[in-house]
Amino acid sequence: MKTKINALVVDDSMEFTSSVKEYFKNNAVITILDCISNGKEAMEYILKNHDKIDVIIMDLIIPGKDGLAILDELEKNKIKSHVIILSSYRKEYTIKMTSKYNVDYFMLKPCDLTSLEARIKEVLAEETTELYSDKKISSEIQVRVTDLLHTLGIPSQIKGYQYLREGILMLYQSAGLIGGITKTVYPEIAYRYNTTASRVERAIRHAIEVSWNRADYQMMNKIFGHSIDYDRAKPTNSEFMVTLSDALRLENKALPIYN
């Protein structure tokens, strides 16, 4: 992991850029170089300073020059900065279009800034652990996981939501982790979010409790099948994550896992 990460934010939401500046102002690792609200101005800045930029955090819908046009110019100019897309625009065609470029991650707005911090650190990691593929999970799969957790009634503002999302994506990408959730998945999530494995486990358990109490029975039955039984205890963290990752694998078998 790089000891210092320089990030450029391209977004025309003053509320969002202000919150990003405030969140990262005292961060020991990540420095926000600038926040630019116009795509044309952002591209000019990138061309002049690309050697200083480690990661570009960008919305797709911005005035002057949209996100896809910027991605195209980055490719034409052979600029290798990492890119994280943040957008509330989830049209399937647009998501597929971003997959053509060197996009590291696609996150839906509104997003938790703790999660954004984790993503920035993740994409700048110098070495990829042998447990995971070095390929990037496709934007389509990331969006499907997000939509599924929302459907299951898990609020995005609780920590367990982010940890569950990470765990499900990890299991989806590498089924070999199923036997190492406690020893491997929790510690990896804890590392990404600068917390402890025990806190990750508790937060995920709380998120499952919320889901179990709020989600639609028919949806639960569709996903968990005969394993669901409201007369007994809710599923364990492992059962919940493994079942969802398996369900996604079956549902999305026609989709590319990686970009």
Residue 115 has pLDDT above 50, yes or no: yes
Q: With H, G, I as helix, E, B as strand and everything else as coil, classify residue 33.
A: strand
* Triad 219, 109, 9: Cα angle to 5°: 155
On average, the pLDDT of the chain sits at: 82
Where residue 140 falls among pLDDT bands split at 50, 70, 90?
confident
* Residue 232 phi, psi dihedral angles, 5° rounding: -120, -175
Q: pLDDT by residue (tens digit) across 67-99? A: 999 999 999 998 988 999 988 766 666 666 777
Residue 224: band (very low, low, confident or very high) from pLDDT cuts 50, 70, 90: low
Question: Amino acid letter at 28?
Answer: A
Which stretch of 2-11, 126-135, 144-153 has the lowest confidence by average pLDDT?
126-135
pTM attached to this predicted model = 0.54
Q: Which of 30, 31, 106, 33 is nearest to 68 (CA)?
A: 106
Indicate whether 121 pLDDT > 80: yes
Q: Which residue has the higher pLDDT, 190 or 124?
A: 190
The H-or-E segment that residue 86 falls in is strand 82-87
Cis peptide bond upstream of 110, omega within 30:
yes
Q: Which two tokens stand for residue 137?
A: 């999970």
Q: Kindly report the backbone phi and psi dihedral angles of residue 71, in degrees, each rounded to the nearest multiple of 5, phi listed first.
A: -60, -40
Residue 152 has pLDDT above 70, yes or no: yes
Mean pLDDT of 214-235: 61
Helices 237-251 and 159-173 pack at an angle, to 10 degrees, of 60
pLDDT at 43 over 90: yes
DSSP-based three-state secondary structure for 137: strand
Q: Is the pLDDT of residue 249 over 50?
A: yes
pLDDT at 133 over 50: no
Domains of the chain: 1-127 (3.40.50.2300), 131-254 (1.10.10.10)
| pLDDT for 37 beyond 90 | yes
pLDDT for 144 beyond 50? yes
pLDDT (tens digit per residue) in 163-214 = 999 999 988 887 667 777 887 888 888 888 888 888 999 999 999 988 887 7
> What percentage of the chain has pLDDT greater than the value 90?
32
pLDDT score for 132 = 47
- Predicted local distance difference test score (pLDDT) of residue 259: 47
DSSP letter, residue 258: B
Parallel, antiparallel or unpaired: strands 5-10 and 82-87: unpaired
pLDDT surpasses 70 at 257: no
- The whole-angstrom separation of Cα 89 and Cα 138 is 16
